[in-house]
């Protein structure tokens, strides 16, 4: 496993990482109304979250986003690690899109106008999976050369 990101990976890592880092920092500064909104959406999609305190949940989510965003922008975090974190996070966001009412056209995966903001998070899953798969492929090539 490489410990420094490759130069061609850094534009995607920096842009996505900065976006997620900003989102996390915003959640950490959020008020009660923000926490209630975020928790309300999350518990609708993932009912097991209903018992969580909205403020604590939003703080934990914000902290996780700051950590993930920081890992993506830091070139010394192995790409396979940062990519795996991004993929997992994006799958959770995609779950919101698929589970929240009104986000998709009836009987379809196509987004409604309201769902576009969440549907675009599927791109994050693609970026994360690409980072992971590239590193796994490179690791396999390195082993085959030896």
Average pLDDT score over residue span 115-137:
94
Q: What predicted TM-score, i.e. pTM, was given to this entire model?
A: 0.89
Contact 87, 121 (CB under 8 A): no
pLDDT at 2 over 80: no
Q: Are 35 and 55 in contact (CB under 8 A)?
A: yes
CA torsion, ordered 117, 122, 128, 129, to nearest 10 deg: 180
pLDDT for 142 beyond 70: no
The single residue listed with the structure tokens 């899109």 is: 97
Neighbouring-strand partners of residue 111 = 104
Band of residue 52 on the pLDDT scale cut at 50, 70, 90:
very high
């Amino acid at each position: 496993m490489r410990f420094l990101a490759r130069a061609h990976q850094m534009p995607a890592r920096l842009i996505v990482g900065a976006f997620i880092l900003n989102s996390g920092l915003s959640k950490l500064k959020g008020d009660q109304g923000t926490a209630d909104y975020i928790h309300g959406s999350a518990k609708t999609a993932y009912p097991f979250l209903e018992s969580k305190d909205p403020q604590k949940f939003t703080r934990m989510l914000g902290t996780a986003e700051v950590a993930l965003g920081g890992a993506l922008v830091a070139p010394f975090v192995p790409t396979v690690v940062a990519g795996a974190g991004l993929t997992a996070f994006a799958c959770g966001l995609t779950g919101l899109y698929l589970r929240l009412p009104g986000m998709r056209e009836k009987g379809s995966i196509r987004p409604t106008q309201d769902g576009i903001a969440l549907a675009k998070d599927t791109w994050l899953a693609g970026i994360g999976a690409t980072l992971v798969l590239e590193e796994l492929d490179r690791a396999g090539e390195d082993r085959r050369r030896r």
